[in-house]
Amino acid sequence: MAKNKIEVRPKFYYDIKIETMLPAMITYRILAEDERQAIELIKNQSPVSIRHRLLGRKDLKIMVYLAGSNMLKFIKNLI
């Protein structure tokens, strides 16, 4: 008699880092004398709010790691 063996593949946790071009509205609140000075001052400031639209994102590169480690398992360039 032949026994049917079902191979069960182990599951792992992964950390996934995605480089994207994300359409987002970043809002700064800057105290400046004019528009040009305000543009220069935002380089050193952190934003007040960020509203993003995930449906319009464009993924550039996907990197998959084993969870809790720095061992890279897979890279896919999407462009």
- 9 domain residue, yes or no: no
- Per-residue model confidence as pLDDT tens digits over 45-62: 888 998 888 888 888 888
- 5 domain residue, yes or no: no
Look up residue 52 and give its two tokens.
Answer: 């993003």
- 33 domain residue, yes or no: yes
- 2 domain residue, yes or no: no
Count: domains in the chain: 1
d(CA 23, CA 46): 18
Q: Of 7-11, 14-18, 56-60, 64-68, where does mean pLDDT reach its minimum?
A: 14-18
Alpha helices (H) in 2-72, listed in sequence order? 35-41
Domain span at residue 55? 14-77
The residue-averaged pLDDT of 18-41 equals 87
Distances (CA, A) of 65 to 60, 68, 69, 71, 78: 17, 8, 7, 6, 17
Residue 2's pLDDT is 61
Q: What are residue 20's phi and psi, to 5 degrees?
A: -135, 160
